Chain A
Amino acid sequence: MTDLRAEVPGAAPPATAGAPAPGAAPVAPRRRRRLRYGVVGAVFAGAVAFLVSQVGGSLDYFETVDQAVAHRASLGAQTVRLEGLVVPGSVHRDGTGVDFVAAGVHDRVAVHDTGSPPQLFQADIPVVVVGHFTGSGFAAGQIIVDHSATYIEQHPARVRAPNGTTR
């Protein structure tokens, strides 16, 4: 009996149901399975590598106005993402786009954007502009609104009347 029991664990357990019996294991299905896991592993590793490569050498998505102005000479006409606060009163729209001044803590840059500003674009909010420095300022092709994590009621003092109106 002892010998028989010793043989039992060698039998194919349910987890490998359909797998070849010991001693007669066909090599092809095992290779196919290994190949399949290899492909899945390679796809997974590729996805991770792609995501890491998207972040690239710099983990900063943008440079602040102060940082960019500090090494403006080295940037040349290189495309950069520039972050600054839209100075109130500086926004002017015309047929070619929108002009405004982006402010950092110390420096300011005049921006001319030829893209379509997002619906939340307005004065006194931080934005990221994608473009390059020119002789007179910054030429942008895209504005991205960089909103804060502060949420304030638009009309906190107003109350709703029984008839549904606010006052």
Chain B
Amino acid sequence: MSAPAPPSPARRPPRRALVGASGLAGAVGLGVTVWLGLWVTPPDVHQRDLVRLLYIHPPIAWVALYLAFGLAGVASLLWLWPRTRARLWDRLAASAMEVGVVFTALTLLTGMLWGRPTWGVWWVWDARLTSTALLLVMQLGYLALRRVPADPDARARRSAVAALVAAVDVPIVHFSVDWWHTLHQPGTVLNPELDAKVHGAMAWTLLLGFVSVTLVFVWLLAERYRIEALADEAADAGLEAALEERWAEAGATAQAQAPAGVGS
């Protein structure tokens, strides 16, 4: 009765091996980063052993702020632009935002763990920390918005607008340490001079941390995207089944009424 459905992204050859390799490489890289960070790299001249949080906090923040939000923002723009509108952009934005919220929370958590022994306080309301907390709240708001029942297009439109509104906070977070006096130090790598003032083996370990966390993010994103695509397929199948059922009901009712109509 119905033509075969066009192949959806979830049914295409999913390049699972590549995704799995990304996750495995990320996990191994993280393990090596931890080993280098805890046992091989030397202490810092000022922070001493507290510097070891350097190898995970900036990489996590990099993923949360730039990769996850960058992807969500670009995908949302591509969905809103009529010429490029496709469901994959909505799925990609949703997936990036959902994985990103975990990384934003981890950014705040690792930052607090680092701040307590170095600054002497868990938290301060400076522009960098506050704007990052605001980002987390807006990410949670985005995810809540996606749970509001609506047809897929309406949900995608609302979500895309919300993602772009939230994305306005990203440059504020990034430049807050340059625009205002903040307790948070300037960018370790992405500073105005693009000069990472990190010494020797510490720099290589930090680089490995960046690569590893990025690979883990890619793996999580790909898996989350696959789940989103499967959920869309399930919703479509459910809708088709409901329509078929109603058509069948309507057909049966029409048949039952037909003799009475003829006789009258």
Measured CB to CB, the residues of A under 8 A from B are 4-5, 7-8, 11-16, 37, 40, 44, 47-48, 51-52, 54-56, 59-64, 83, 117-122, 125, 128, 142-156, 158
Contact = CB atoms under 8 A, between A and B. Distances in A.
B137 A51 contact: yes
B167 to A, nearest CB: 15
A13 B235 CA distance: 10
A151 B199 contact: yes
19 contacts: A15-B235, A15-B239, A44-B144, A51-B130, A51-B134, A51-B137, A52-B134, A54-B125, A56-B125, A61-B124, A61-B183, A62-B181, A144-B119, A149-B197, A152-B199, A153-B41, A153-B199, A155-B42, A156-B200
B81 interface: no
B246 interface: yes
Contacts of B54: 151
Interface centre among B201, B235, B239, B243, by most chain A C-beta atoms within 10 angstroms, is B243
B63 to A, nearest CB: 19
Contacts of B50: 120
Contact of B118 (A118, A143, A150): A118
B236 to A, nearest CB: 9
Contact of A14 (B119, B238, B254): B238
B125 A5 contact: no
B199 A63 contact: no
Given A47-B137, A120-B118, A125-B46, A153 B201 contact: yes
Contact of B250 (A8, A47, A121): A8
A4 B251 contact: yes
A167 B241 CA distance: 75
B43 A154 contact: yes
A83 B121 contact: no
The 5 closest A-B pairs by CB, nearest first: A118-B120, A61-B126, A150-B197, A14-B238, A60-B181
Interface residues of B, number: 59
Interface in B48-69: 48, 50-51, 54
Interface in B211-246: 235, 238-239, 242-243, 246
Contacts of B125: 54-56, 61
Nearest to A55: B130
A63 B43 CA distance: 31
Interface in B110-124: 117-121, 124
B19 to A, nearest CB: 29
A145 B200 CA distance: 25
B198 interface: yes
B20 interface: no
A48 B191 contact: no
A83 B184 CA distance: 13
B134 A117 contact: no
Contacts of A118: 117-120
A15 B45 contact: no
Contacts of B43: 153-154
Given A61-B124, A151-B54, A153-B200, A40 B144 contact: yes
Nearest to A60: B181
